[in-house]
Amino acid sequence: MQRLAASCLALALAASVAHSAVILENGAPIKWAQAAAQLSDLPVENGVLNPNPWDFVHRMGFYRLLIAATDPFMGSMGAGPTESPVWGLPLQFGWMLTSGRLADPTGATTCGLQTGDTTCISPQSWWGCVNHFVSALPFLSAAQQEIFGQGVQVQMQAPEGAEGYCTTYADCAAKFPDVMAKWDAFFKGLKASGDSTLPDNEKKDAILGLYWDAHMASLHAASACSAKQSSYSAPEVNFASSWLNSAEYVSAASFQSSLEKSVVFLTPLPGRILQEGDSAPNIADMTQEENHTLSTFSWMMSMGGAPVRMWRSAMCSVANREKGREMLEQLLLNPSLATTTFLSIITGMMTGC
């Protein structure tokens, strides 16, 4: 139980406010103003949307369009235009760009580098590959479920010099059926929520549950990207694994990854790719917050899967998930919260299960 408390406290401490990663531009995700605000802003060929998901601005447009199209169904999330859990995705995507993680790690091209096309997403980037599963795939599912209206067809442009990336709904559904089924379920559930008579807190919990089921299905399917990790240093690979592990805690509580809350989580992430020899908490050119995040994530990974399983067990009901979300937020805002207090809350929650 002490390990569980320490893990969740560590997650929160790692997300304490810092100024490491660049994730906002004029209060919005990176290049939000240049991203597509309507479907007609994307390339069209023979009446079919033909965006290039290997162009940062096009891919950011997927998020802008998704948020705009799903906002009418997000009333249970709270008042204001930035409460949707989808906001966490474009913010995270922007951090990947500014930290250099979308560039070609092999050095074979200048894709994504300051000396090349800075908005190019390399098909060889592990981070760009993983993000493909939480950008292109949900966009294709949303079109299929008529979130953007009837009759919207999408054919993604295929990346040059890379295979294995799906480009249509049918293609993705054949290669990754579980992922597409769960994004379909999210969008169907979202539309159905408008007619739901559930109290707002239960409706909110149901929507967040569907969203995180789909999100995590995408991340799990992104194991297809693992071969691309060979182009990175051992510290970066270890960080990537711990970054995926942290999502397990957030998703189990069905965290509401609004813009404001996501900024708190994402700001202390490392602002550059890790190199051989980087050893937190003693990386000289990184801030104290970046070093702390890296060392904490590494420690959490070293503890194995037991803490994750215990946390999931505690998140067993609507009421417990509400408490879990509140605890994560409280810990973010008040990282000095006593471990004993946190322990007593978790003990009571697990007893209730």
Q: Per-residue pLDDT tens for 186-200?
A: 999 999 998 888 999
Share of the chain above pLDDT 70, in %: 88
Q: Which of 87, 33, 92 is nearest to 61 (CA)?
A: 33
Instruction: Return the pLDDT at 6.
Output: 39
> Is the pLDDT score of 179 beyond 90?
yes
Domain match, 26 and 156 both: yes
DSSP character for 29?
A: E
Out of 231, 263, 296, a domain closes at 231
- How far is 280 from 238, CA to CA, in rounded Å? 12
Domain match, 78 and 136 both: yes
Domain match, 269 and 241 both: yes
Higher pLDDT, 112 or 195: 112
Q: What is the DSSP string of 55-98?
A: BHHHHHHHHHHHHHHHGGG-GGG-SSTT--GGGHHHHHHHHHHH
Out of 183, 214, 231, a domain closes at 231
- Domain range holding 239? 1-21+233-353
Domain match, 96 and 199 both: yes
Confidence of residue 350 (pLDDT cuts 50, 70, 90): confident
Domain match, 182 and 218 both: yes
Number of domains composing the chain: 2
Instruction: Return the pLDDT at 12.
Output: 37
Domain match, 268 and 218 both: no
Domain match, 46 and 173 both: yes
> Is the pLDDT score of 201 beyond 70?
yes
Higher pLDDT, 159 or 303: 159
Instruction: Return the pLDDT at 332.
Output: 52
pLDDT in tens, 3-54: 333 333 333 333 333 346 789 999 999 999 999 999 999 999 999 999 999 9
Domain match, 144 and 194 both: yes
Domain match, 349 and 295 both: yes
Domain match, 276 and 345 both: yes
Do 268 and 289 form a contact (C-beta atoms < 8 A)? yes
Structure tokens at 265: 């989580």
Out of 187, 202, 231, a domain closes at 231
Residue 81 Cα distances to 38, 74, 100, 134, angstroms: 17, 9, 29, 21
Domain match, 124 and 246 both: no
Do 215 and 222 form a contact (C-beta atoms < 8 A)? no
Q: What is the pTM of this model?
A: 0.89
